[in-house]
Structure formats: C-alpha cells, structure tokens
Copies of this chain bind each other. A is one copy, B any other.
Amino acid sequence: MNIAISNTSGTPIYQQLFEQISAQILKGELETGYSLPPIRQAATELRVSIITVKKAWEELERAGLIYTVTGKGCFIAELTPDEILQKRNDMILKQMVLDTAYYKSFGLTVEEVFELLKKVY
C-alpha cells in the first residue's frame, strides 16, 4: 500500500486510489495473485472511509484488474504481459481522447502538441 492521497487536488479520493493502484498493477509492481489489503484495514491505514475504499476496489474490479472473493479478500488479476499492455493503453487512450479534445478546441496541430509535450515530459 504505497498510496499518496491529496485533499487539495479536487480529484475524488476513490479515484486517486483507483488510478494509483491501477498504475502499480499495470507497471507490474504488484504480483498477480497477491492480495490487496482488506478494505477495513486499508480504510484505517489511509484514514478514509470504508465506502471510499470499496468504491475504488469496485472500479478496479470493473476494470478487470482485480477480483474479489467474499470472505477471502481481493486479489490482483492474473494477466499476461500482452493483456497488461492492452489494458494500460486502453486506460491511457481513454483519457487521451478527452485531453486532446481540449487541445483541438484551441486549434493546435498535432505537431504543435508534440512541441509542447516535449517541454513538459
């Protein structure tokens, strides 16, 4: 559980949890089959509500990144490297469509976006 919660970012806590754990899973930092902490324990550690943790876990399951077994716990989904790459790109692309809509609305060409991107990446 290496999570950093920001109370000033405006991003809901449950989404912060979802994004950070997603990234960790898709970067292979959490072993497949390994279990996530119980929601109660996670809630206590992170000092947030159980509902908040539950919401994040639900999103992770909906994304196919974990699976839950009532009475046992939540476990990292067993994914092949190809599946991991696929899911990672899907998540990035989904967000990128929204991001680029903003750039396009200002009339930027893809070349201009590349130029600006180099400065901040």
A61 at the interface (CB under 8 A from B): no
A73-90 near B? 1/0 per residue, CB < 8 Å: 000000000000000110
Residue of B nearest to A24 (CB): B105
* Copies of the protein in its oligomer: 2
Classify the secondary structure of A's interface with B.
helix
- C-alpha spacing A89/B106, complex, angstroms: 10
Residue of B nearest to A114 (CB): B114
A120 in complex: contacting residue of B23, B96, B116, B120, CB < 8 Å? B96
**Interfacial residues, chain A to chain B (CB-CB below 8 A):** 19-20, 22-23, 26-27, 88-89, 91-93, 95-97, 99-100, 102-108, 110, 113-114, 116-121
